[in-house]
Structure formats: C-alpha cells, structure tokens
Structure 1
C-alpha cells in the first residue's frame, strides 16, 4: 500500500491506495473523502458509522455506486461526483434502430453522435426531455419494454441505483431482438452477470461491449472475460489526460466550496441531506 501525508493551508491531506484497515484508520478522523470508481473505497453504512466526522464524499469520476447514498443522506453526508465519459456507437445495414436507456449528459452526447448516421433512436429515461430537446437530439421517447423489443443495439447510459440494479436480467435480455447488441458504459451491475453469459452463449445476442464490471476491479475468473462475442475493456474511459484534468478541476472546485462554506455546484450533487 502507499500512504503519504502533508499539510496545506491548515488542512491535513492523506493519500493512500489502501481500501481496507489503513483507509478505515484515516476515515475515523476524516472530514472529506475523495475516492474514485476506478479503485473504489466501498462506503457502506457500517463504515460511515465509524467515520463520525465525515461531511463530504467526492467521487473523482463517473458514478457513485460504491457509496450507499441512502445511508449517506441519513447521516448528513453530501455526495458529489464528476460526470465525464462517453458511450459507444453502432449501426446495422437496414433501417437501424438504436435504443438509449438514460438520456443524461452521456446519453445525449451518444444521441448527437448517432444522429449523423441516420439511425432511428428511441430513448427511455426517468425524466422525459422537452419536445425541442428531442428534436435537437433526434430521439423519440418510448416505454422501456418497447425500446428493448425494437432496438438493434441498446446503449446503457444511466446511473446505478435501486431501480436500475439488475435492470437487464434474464427476462429482459431474452426480450431483446434476436441478434441485437448491448453496449454498457454505465455500470456492470445493471446487467445480471450469468444471464448475460447465457444470452451470448445461446446466440440470442450478437454481442456485448462495455468498459465497466461488477465488482471493480474484476476478479481474474470473472465470466465476462471468457464469454463469447464480447468486447470488454478495462474501465479506463476516465483515465485520459484530458479527463483527469477535468476531474481534478471539478474535485478542486467542490473542495474549495466546502472548505469556504460556499454552496456546492448543484449539478455535481447526487445526494444532499440539506434539501
């Protein structure tokens, strides 16, 4: 493990790669925790109970499923995350249809990239976009079941939460068009691991692509490593120099606001116990 510490402007900063007992020892006195989805520190209610001074959790990257949001809200801990990333694109030869599950920042960027390929795009999201936004993005709202049944490729671009965990289970995967593709750059746990393997082995799906696993880092014997017709990569989408600069700038902005008793940027806050 690697642990370093220094003091700046009256604050002690501790940096560690440990996610076990060493991290817990530092959490006991920590006011702010900065973690990353690429090497996450899983913060559950038991861990929060020991971190009595913790007020703010910053995720330096996309996604915050390694943090129990409901427990954080109950304990008055604010959560912030940097939303960066992009999703894949695909098309078929005749009358291609793409389904976007989630149309936030990443889903919207995906739609704009697909728009130039004359792809009919359906989308499903908890919050429907305005007619003007749908026209600009070139998307049509659909119920999730209809989107699943009609799409040649489905792109998952939604956060992992209570309603999306295991959203694509065996039943939903079997409801997809035969020979269709599933692209997941959201979170691995949105798809049921063994059900996906079965869908690919049976030939129901033509392929699966993604850069997110569950758990992360993925174990050496994770079945997605050896399943047929997959295009899995490591979770590196936020590790480019440009992305890291944006993430670092966002973390600094959040931290300065917190230490200066200023309001945090609202678009960075997935849970706020004060609201």
Structure 2
C-alpha cells in the first residue's frame, strides 16, 4: 500500500505535488482549515505532512499520527505551528524552508517602511475621500538611522536593500553577532537597549517563539526617540501589545506597520482608532508571492521525499 501525504492550505499548486505522486505517494489535500480533531484524524494514516495552512500540529493531533515520519513546514517559523517537542517525542522529523522567502518578505517590509515614513496609505485614503491638501512634510528614508532586530536571512536581505539601494545608516541586534555582514554591508552592532534608543526606525525581523515573546517591551519603548517608526513583519507577539498601544495613544510612536496582528479581539479593537493615521496592518501576507510560495513548496516536497525514502534531509530542524 502506498504511503499517504497530507497537504494543508491552498498555496501549493497541484503541479508542484507531482514529484510526490511520481515517488509513489498518495496525496490528501483538504482545502479548509482543519480543527485539532480533524487534523488528528487526517494524520492517523499519513507518512508525511506538508503543513501549508494555518493549522497547529498539537501534541493531541500528533499522538494519533503513528505512521508520521515528517512534518514539512512551509516557511521558517515552524514553532508557531508545530508542537516541536511533541513531534520529537514521537520520532517525527520537522523541516522548514530557509532562504525561499527572503526576497518576498524583505521587499514587503521595505514597502511597509516606505508607507510608514511617507504615509502613503493614509494620504491615498484622504485623497480618495476628497480630503487632500493637509499632507505634512515627511523625511527621506536615506537620512534615517534604521535598526534591525534579527539578522537572519530576511534581516540581512533588508539590510542589503537599505544599504545598497537607499544608502541609509543601518545598525542591528542579533543573538549571534555577524562580523562578516558588518564588514560587507557597513552595519553597526548594538545591544538591544542601545539600538532602541539610537535609531529613527526599528524593524523587527526575529523568529517568533517563547524566547522572543515581548522582546520589544516597555523597557525598549521608554528608550525610543519621540516619533520612532516601528515595523514588524515577523510575529506581532514579539512586541508587547500594551506598550505598543500606549505609545500610539501618547504619540511617542510616530507610526507602526505590522504584517499580521494580535489575535486577541480587545487588542485589535483598541488599535482601530490609530488606523491609518498612526498604524497600518496587513494580514500576514509578506511572503505571498508566486515565486516565494513555489520555492517553499518545492523545498518542502523534496524534504518529504528525502525523509521518507532516505531518512535524512538538510533542512531538518528538529
């Protein structure tokens, strides 16, 4: 009997699943968001799982997956979608797709940044409502000091665009210092507190997990220059929501751009009065390009074949 593969989400084109079929696998691709119980039932007879939807592979869902050998996560931040400890306990490998979405997310982040520095969305809405003429002067991005929190693949690509394309000053904080990138791009490393108080723009581009939740909190907000612009294309929870809302209300924060926001309705409701004059939010779509999604899918498919057929894959993270 052929091994079965579960593919969730709708972003993987059928054509890109052909290597799995050619390798002898049977594909199950439900297009709706699976509940925990539905996911548990779907995984019960599967050898592989391409996680391309918004499901969370909980310990309960994985307990039923006695045949499962691999969860191939479509993206980087698998920690937000997989109980990795439960997977490891069950002998289930977890892979991700590094490098495949660097350009897409970096470009989108620069778009959020330009919108925030020049108020493009705000003024476009005003113009469409016949309220133009009250625009205020903004600042050239090239004359701003930008700080990046997290200098992984995406953070590095953002730094390249800012340094080579815009020629602005860029500093960064990362858990691991990157001397080679400092020399190549002319970056300055600063501890997080020092970075927070020295920059005009702060871009959050670090993985969202238990260690980084609330990383940008009251301590950092208190150090911000008045009018600082905050861009978060990573996980909303990396920024403390209470500190964010207080800074928006007080005017301490000049503008904020988020790709994806907090799930709690009370936070979302409290943020609404600041849209679009101080805040723009998009629906976690930074990587939503054909190029990025196809590259992610190709890598995830290859990882499934590698793990099931050969027991190893270079993109295994757990």
Q: TM-score range by the shorter chain?
A: 0.7 to 0.9
In the TM superposition, 1:3-82 aligns within 5 A as 8=21, 9-16=23-30, 17-20=32-35, 21-36=37-52, 39-64=53-78, 65-82=80-97
Stretches of 4+ aligned residues off by more than 3 angstroms? 6-10, 89-95, 218-221
Q: What's 1:270 paired with?
A: 317
**Would the aligned equivalents of 1:211 and 1:233 in 2 still touch at CA under 8 Å?**
yes
Which whole-Å CA distance do the structure 2 matches of 1:140 and 1:151 have between them?
A: 12
Q: Say yes or no: does 1:214 pair with 2:262.
A: yes
1:24-66 CA deviation, whole Å, 9 max, x = no partner?
Answer: 2112222222113xx4111222332232332211111242212
Question: TM-score scaled to structure 1, two decimals?
Answer: 0.84
Cα gap change, 1:26 to 1:106, in 2 (>3 Å): same
* CA-atom RMSD in angstroms: 2.9
Quote the offset at 1:67 in angstroms: 1.5
Segments of 5+ residues of structure 1 without an aligned counterpart are none
Which whole-Å CA distance do the structure 1 matches of 2:45 and 2:200 have between them?
A: 51
**Would the aligned equivalents of 2:47 and 2:308 in 1 still touch at CA under 8 Å?**
no
Larger Rg: 2
Quote the offset at 1:221 in angstroms: 7.9
Question: TM-score scaled to structure 2, two decimals?
Answer: 0.74
Greater percentage in strand: 1
Number of residue pairs aligned between Structure 1 and Structure 2: 263
Quote the offset at 1:139 in angstroms: 0.9
Cα gap change, 1:188 to 1:12, in 2 (>3 Å): same
Q: Say yes or no: does 1:202 pair with 2:250.
A: yes
Greater percentage in helix: 2
Q: What's 2:206 paired with?
A: 158
Higher relative contact order (CA 8 A, sep 6+): 2
Cα gap change, 1:224 to 1:11, in 2 (>3 Å): farther
**Would the aligned equivalents of 1:101 and 1:158 in 2 still touch at CA under 8 Å?**
yes
